[in-house]
Amino acid sequence: MTYLALARKWRPRTFADVAGQGHVVRALENALNSGKLHHAFLFTGTRGVGKTTIARIFVKALNCEKAVSAEPCGVCSSCVSIDQGRFVDFLEVDAASRTGVDDARELLDNAQYTPAAGRFKVYLIDEVHMLSKAAFNALLKTLEEPPPHVKFLLATTDPQKIPVTVLSRCLQFNLKRLPLATIIERLTLVCGNEGISVEQGAVVRLARAAAGSMRDALSLLDQALAFGDGALRDADVAEMLGSLDRGKLTALMEALAVADAPALLAQVQLLDELAPDYGDVLAGLATLLQQVAVVQVAGAAALDTETAVEDEVALLTRLAAQLAPETVQLMYQIAVMGRRDLALAPDPRTGFEMALLRLVAFHPERLPQAVVATGASAQVRAAAPTPRPAASVTSATLPAGPPDIGNWSAFIASLSVDGAARQLAEHCAVVAHSPFELRLTLDKRNGHLLTENLQSRLTAALHERLGSSVKVLYTLAEAPQETPATLQAKTDDDDLRQARELIAADRNVRQMTEMFGAEVIPESVRKNPNPPSRK
């Protein structure tokens, strides 16, 4: 007995059966019902989304013996012949195998002749972008002056390669990737009608693996049924696809959230026994982090239900509350870059472990406090104590710690910069600092200091202390910021106030005031640069 693949058996036969492409179907139905039919249509989109399927339904609608309408009968000789691929006036060509100008000319030579069996002679050219330049020129001539009985249906996955002269003569319809929910719904329908025993988790896995292609989803379903001996089980599909169990992925994420390196490495050991694709694992982590970022910025209601099922929402919400937004962004970037660098690692597991350890190394719980401080509080927050070599301890014994950006005033004092560039530094405030970026803000009243020359000098001095990989950004602020300069001015004001209070309280000064009406001139009070020592 001949077996018909599910992708062919369940191919839509009418516009009503087409899923997820309502914008295209609606336009074609309106054109058919109104009789305003263009001579050339271009269908674009990734593989398996319905380009040639919609084109074939359109051919039936044009040549149905009942009438030209959006609802072909499907039972007349023309409809049946088109479904079976033997309609004489429907010429379907694969441009990938017939790219030359001679092929195009041979194809188009018969366009001048009237249809033999239907109303229209229809040319469906699949992967039309594969035609050569000469072939396109040959096609263009017919597209410019088409016979009234000819319709052209072009399909492609790469419209950018089609000459604009051809594009301008076609009505273009862009087919979308099918949503995950739509694919799940169709797979469930197919399994129900086929009497297949299914586990919902297996259906979701197949739909995700299809990546928006209904044809791929049905082909994977066929493969899964062969693998599972007629049943669709989650464990079998996971093994067939080599995909990672969602629970193991979330266990990795849980360990990463608290920077628990031992637990993380233990999970990697368990994971390695399954021989997974580590690139897919990092992609899964990146997807989770992206969803956490969405929850943090827009709330759980904004989650894309196509990629986050209900039982994951609670986890994502908890992680969103547990991790700082900037930490999530950094972790996402590390996961993406780690996936890219897997090919350069000694082996996939080593590259994967290194990416995870990097995620832990840059976790806020592992970094000195000054490094992760952000916002205005970063100017006053104290950094983790940095070891300093004492008289009896060499620097080799206790290495110096990271630069103390949290104490910006002290940090500026260590910079090899002077003059106006140091003045620029003293009027700046740190608003954010990470291992990759330092953001400084300057009050607009001191904006004259933000010249290209002074920025260059200060940035060079900062790179000497922080490393050249750190990006330094300068911005102007409307509201005054607390800077080393303002702190120093405040300190000077406090010193002067205390000095004036001491002078006013001095016994001799009080006697002179009472006896002679003397008055202390406030502007004359100066801070003593060499105060007497107290013994």
Q: What percent of the chain has pLDDT over 70?
A: 82
Q: Is-contact 428 462, C-beta < 8 A? A: no
69: nearest Cα among 99, 101, 37: 37
Residue 310 clears pLDDT 70, i.e. is over it = no
C-beta separation of 201 from 235 below 8 A? no
- Output the CATH code of domain 246-361: 1.20.272.10
Q: Give the span between the Cα atoms of 201 and 206, in whole angstroms.
A: 9
CB-CB contact of 56 with 124 (8 Å) = yes
From residue 414, give the alpha-carbon distance in Å to each of 146, 465, 466. 79, 9, 12
> Class of the 6-174 domain?
alpha beta
Residue 522 to residues 500, 504, 514, 517, 529, Cα–Cα distance (Å): 7, 10, 18, 16, 18
Spatial strand order of the sheet with 471-477 comes to: 428-433, 437-443, 471-477
Give the bridge partners for 110, in sequence order.
Answer: none
Mean pLDDT throughout 103-129?
A: 85
> Identity (one letter) of the amino acid at 440?
L
CA distances from 62 to 57, 75, 78, 221, 368 (A): 9, 14, 10, 33, 72
* pLDDT digit string, tens, across residues 123-158: 999 999 988 888 888 888 888 888 889 999 999 999
Is the pLDDT at 368 greater than 80? The verdict is no
- For helices 310-322 and 246-257, the axis angle rounded to 10 degrees is 10
Long-range contacts of range 286-294, CB-CB < 8 Å, 24 or more positions apart?
286/332, 286/335, 286/336, 286/339, 288/249, 288/250, 288/253, 288/316, 288/319, 289/328, 289/331, 289/332, 289/335, 290/332, 291/316, 292/316, 292/319, 292/320, 292/323, 292/328, 293/325, 293/328, 293/329, 293/332
Q: Report the DSSP beta bridge partners of residue 126.
A: 94
Q: pLDDT at residue 27 above 90? A: yes
Residues listed for the chain: 535
Q: Which of 69-78, 271-280, 290-299, 524-533 has the lowest mean pLDDT?
A: 524-533
Res 377 pLDDT > 70: no
**Contact predicate 412/422, CB 8 Å:** yes
pLDDT number for residue 138: 84
Domain ranges of the chain: 6-174, 180-241, 246-361, 408-482, 486-521
Model confidence pLDDT, tens digit, residues 189-247: 999 999 998 888 889 889 988 888 999 999 999 999 998 888 898 888 887 876 666 67
SS (H, E, C) 306-363: CCCCHHHHHHHHHHHHHCCHHHHHHHHHHHHHHHHHHHHCCCHHHHHHHHHHHHHHCC
- Would you state the pLDDT for residue 400? 43
State residue 494's pLDDT score. Answer: 65
Q: What is the phi-psi region of residue 419: left when phi exceeds 0, alpha when psi lies from -120 to 50, beta otherwise? A: left
The DSSP 8-state label assigned to residue 376 in this structure reads G
Q: Specify the CATH superfamily of domain 408-482.
A: DNA polymerase III, tau subunit, domain V (3.30.300.150)
Average pLDDT along the chain = 81
394: pLDDT strictly greater than 50: no
401 vs 386: CA distance, rounded Å: 5
CA 265 from chain center: how many Å?
27
Least confident of 30-34, 47-51, 120-124, 295-299: 295-299
CATH number of 180-241: 1.10.8.60
Kindly report the pTM of this predicted structure. 0.57
